[in-house]
């Protein structure tokens, strides 16, 4: 280990109490982005982060105003010819309600059994502070061997409505080689993990129209096609008996999982029992030939999210509904194009809807393809080696089933990939009462980030 590297690690180990009190100060600020009553607190939290960035020596610090809550930029660019990492974070939190389920008040951070309880402790004020602490430790001992930039927004918990514009308007400012996004977590205290893939999303409404008004099923039933029956028949046909999706061309662009990657995913501790336990379903069901980890991370899906038609109140109403609607969404994998999936759904409808009804497909959203970072990229390798140094085990590589808009936006506008990690645990109660951060892995995470910067 180089002298600078070990000195930075030693330093970080001597600072645990300060690291904790810095985090407690930030968690005290109720920066709830969705609640207009907390608008002033949002500003206080943003300024608090700015103060921290200034204190560790970051430069060109800017508060970027948006139509909503401000975003923060800062940089330290003194390693010409070396890579530039942009560190993403958010300083907003989810609302704390229901308050009566908290054992201690959400904005009075409390330490119990080596865990800090408070809203945002894990998601993601703890992760933002871990990054700041790591950069500081590296800077204090020999200087940063890479260039760093920061993008810390205040609207992640409400879907980042203004982030796209912030990135678009400041492309030159945010230019980097790749992004580090610590808004994820590890899988256990001794199970470090890196997320290298996220699924995309395409969301539709499928409408089927029959008679021009609701009919009496006794007088007219039998003479017209029931739109609810037709829509559900269409939905039933969207999967075959093996769980494959039948929309024409749906799988055309799907990037297959190779043997190497499947072996890597098979190391994850989330086996069949895990999914059974966490879903409460009587048994698992999915596309034949794949494991649940692959179903949820590496394969595309088509789900019915909601159905609307006819009479659903108590008792009986003998109605023949005039129309039916289904909300249908697809989780997409690399290299599927959401617009191509829209076309594929239209084609399925054209081929299958009977002419006794009319139909329409509305696009709710189709601008979010999947994203993936090569497991062999410099960023992933640097982080994987860093985690292995600290934890003594090779990290697990995960593909997450959900979508993180900022990852896709950075990829689309800045052309960069994101490495996702974080040092929270699966049971941190994110978005729920009694959110907590376990300090052991958090301190380890700070050390891992110190190694990460040196490895780069």
Binding residues vs Zn ion (CB under 5 A): 123-124, 183
For Zn ion, give the closer residue by CB, 131 or 322.
131
Determine contact, residues 193/369, Cβ cutoff 8 Å.
no
Sign of the C-alpha dihedral, residues 241, 234, 324, 331? positive
Least distance CB 384 / Zn ion (angstroms): 22
Least distance CB 397 / Zn ion (angstroms): 20
For Zn ion, give the closer residue by CB, 123 or 447.
123
For Zn ion, give the closer residue by CB, 123 or 261.
123
| Residue 120 to residue 118: CA distance in whole angstroms | 6
- CA dihedral defined by 53, 54, 55, 58, rounded to 10 degrees? 70
Least distance CB 123 / Zn ion (angstroms): 4
For Zn ion, give the closer residue by CB, 124 or 134.
124
Least distance CB 19 / Zn ion (angstroms): 20
For Zn ion, give the closer residue by CB, 128 or 166.
128
For Zn ion, give the closer residue by CB, 124 or 265.
124
Least distance CB 183 / Zn ion (angstroms): 4
Least distance CB 394 / Zn ion (angstroms): 26
Least distance CB 181 / Zn ion (angstroms): 10
For Zn ion, give the closer residue by CB, 153 or 183.
183
For Zn ion, give the closer residue by CB, 154 or 298.
154
For Zn ion, give the closer residue by CB, 124 or 247.
124
For Zn ion, give the closer residue by CB, 90 or 207.
90
Least distance CB 277 / Zn ion (angstroms): 25
At residue 341's C-alpha, the angle toward residues 339 and 343, to 5°, is: 75
| Residue 434 to residue 436: CA distance in whole angstroms | 6
Least distance CB 120 / Zn ion (angstroms): 9
For Zn ion, give the closer residue by CB, 74 or 124.
124
Least distance CB 156 / Zn ion (angstroms): 5
Least distance CB 127 / Zn ion (angstroms): 8
How many C-beta neighbours within 10 Å does residue 450 have?
Answer: 27
Contacts of 174 (CB under 8 A, 6+ apart): 73, 86, 149, 151, 167, 410, 414
């Amino acid at each position: 280990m180089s002298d600078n590297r070990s000195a930075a690690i030693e330093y970080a180990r001597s600072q645990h109490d300060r690291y904790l009190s810095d985090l407690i100060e930030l968690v005290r600020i109720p920066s709830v982005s969705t609640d207009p009553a907390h608008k002033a607190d949002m500003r206080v939290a943003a300024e608090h982060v700015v103060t921290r960035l200034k204190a560790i020596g970051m430069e060109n610090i800017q508060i970027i105003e948006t139509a909503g809550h401000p975003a923060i930029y800062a940089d330290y660019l003194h390693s010409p010819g070396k890579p530039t990492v942009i560190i993403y974070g958010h300083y907003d939190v989810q609302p704390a309600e229901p308050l009566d389920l908290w054992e201690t008040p959400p904005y009075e951070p409390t330490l119990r059994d080596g865990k800090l309880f408070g809203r945002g402790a894990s998601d993601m004020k703890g992760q933002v502070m871990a990054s700041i602490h790591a950069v500081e430790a590296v800077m204090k001992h020999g200087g940063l061997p890479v260039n760093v930039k920061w993008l810390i927004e205040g609207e992640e918990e409400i879907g980042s409505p203004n982030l796209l514009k912030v990135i678009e308007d400041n492309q030159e400012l945010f230019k980097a080689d790749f992004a580090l996004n610590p808004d994820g977590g590890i899988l256990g205290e001794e199970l470090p993990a890196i997320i290298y893939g996220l699924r995309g999303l395409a969301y539709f409404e499928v409408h089927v129209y029959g008679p021009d008004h609701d009919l009496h099923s006794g007088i007219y039933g039998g003479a017209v096609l029931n739109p609810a029956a037709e829509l559900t028949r269409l939905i039933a046909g969207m999967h075959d008996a093996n769980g494959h999706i039948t929309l024409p061309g749906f799988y055309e662009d799907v990037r297959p999982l190779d043997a190497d990657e499947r072996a890597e995913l098979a190391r994850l501790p989330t086996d069949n029992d895990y999914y059974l336990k966490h879903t409460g379903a009587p048994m698992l069901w999915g596309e034949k030939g794949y494991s649940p980890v692959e179903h949820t991370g590496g394969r595309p899906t088509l789900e019915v999210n909601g159905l609307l038609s006819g009479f659903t109140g108590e008792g009986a109403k003998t109605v023949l509904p005039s129309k039916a609607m289904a909300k249908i969404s697809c989780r997409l994998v690399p290299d599927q194009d959401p617009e191509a999936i829209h076309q594929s759904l239209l084609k399925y409808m054209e081929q299958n809807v009977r002419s006794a009804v009319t139909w329409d497909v509305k696009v709710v959203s189709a601008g979010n393809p999947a994203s993936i970072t090569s497991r062999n990229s410099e960023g992933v390798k640097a982080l994987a080696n860093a985690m292995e140094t600290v934890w003594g085990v090779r990290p697990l590589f995960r593909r997450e089933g959900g979508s993180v808009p900022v990852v896709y936006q950075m990829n689309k506008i800045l052309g960069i990939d994101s490495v996702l990690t974080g040092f929270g645990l699966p049971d941190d109660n994110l978005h729920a009462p009694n959110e907590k951060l376990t300090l052991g892995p958090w301190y380890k995470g700070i050390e891992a980030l110190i190694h990460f910067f040196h490895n780069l």
